[in-house]
Amino acid sequence: MDYILDVHTHTIVSGHAYSTMQEVIEQAAKKGLELVAITDHAPAMPGSAHMFYFSNLGVLPQYIYGVEVLKGIEANIINYNGDIDVSEVILKQLDIVIASLHPPCIDFGNIEQNTNAIIGAMKNPYVNIIGHPDDARYPLDYDKIVKAAKEHNVLLEVNNSSMNPNGFRKGADKIKIMLEKCMKENVSVVINSDAHVSFDVGKFDSAIKLIEEINFPKELIVNTSKEKLKRFLKG
């Protein structure tokens, strides 16, 4: 199966990543990707950029090195209502928005609190993807999450970085539970690298292994087509 896009990547602007935007896009081109999104962390993440950075992303060409570049952000969910740390003024200017739970921005809640936070974020009309819904420190009710994703036309992420045994997140193998429910409900997913260094752009090895183990249907994976992805983007 050909995976032609990666829509969760970080640059030095995020404060804890190690490559420039140019290096990220160059690697995407070298690896044969047709589309990449730059989704640096929103300002509630310590060390990230001011909102002026995101409001100025319009200076980027649509295509660089032959790769279509989406201007995006990884917003932080900041409370159990699902509010995010990005204003509508900025959201309107972006091509793609990921919303995620991060320890510096919201405490580890119980399963009801975390689930409410994710579903609340999905209700935001500008949110396209829920990032790494796989961290055991934030337990989730996957029945409710998957059904809400279907209702609000939001993609659920299979995050390759989460499966790194040396990474920060715990219990990412629980994503299998979510994927099985996605198959049952016919809900699409996106596989992303969550690259924090350019060499990891388009790196999906662990995620692909998991997908293949459970025979997840290819028609529910949007990475095979730009058109499939864009059905989940607003505007």
Predicted pLDDT of residue 44: 97
Q: Where is 98: in which H helix or E strand?
A: strand 96-100
CA angle (123, 127, 128) in 5-degree steps: 115
Per-residue pLDDT of the chain (235 residues; tens, 9 = 90+): 699 999 999 999 999 999 999 999 999 999 999 999 999 999 999 999 999 999 999 999 999 999 999 999 999 999 999 999 999 999 999 999 999 999 999 999 999 999 999 999 999 999 999 999 999 999 999 999 999 999 999 999 999 999 876 766 776 778 999 999 999 999 999 999 999 999 999 999 999 999 999 999 999 999 999 999 999 998 5
CB burial of residue 147 (10 Å; 0-12, 13-18, 19+): middle
Predicted pLDDT of residue 235: 58
Measuring CA to CA, which residue among 66, 21, 60 is closest to residue 40?
21
**What type of residue is 110?**
N
Q: φ, ψ for residue 183 (rounded to 5)?
A: -60, -45
Coil vs helix vs strand at 230:
helix
Predicted pLDDT of residue 167: 65
By the 8 A CB rule, do 100 and 132 touch? Answer: yes
Q: φ, ψ for residue 70 (rounded to 5)?
A: -95, 135
pTM of the model: 0.97
Number of H helices, E strands in the chain: 8, 8
Parallel, antiparallel or unpaired: strands 63-64 and 67-76? antiparallel
C-alpha 98/C-alpha 154 separation (Å) is: 10
Q: How far is CA 28 from CA 7, 67, 183, 196, in A?
A: 11, 7, 29, 13
Predicted pLDDT of residue 172: 72
**What type of residue is 126?**
Y
**Over the stretch 41-69, which tens digit does the pLDDT of each residue have?**
999 999 999 999 999 999 999 999 999 99
Predicted pLDDT of residue 234: 81
C-alpha 106/C-alpha 78 separation (Å) is: 5
Q: Can you say whether the dihedral through the CA atoms of 197, 6, 115, 183 is positive or negative?
A: negative
Q: Where is 70: in which H helix or E strand?
A: strand 67-76
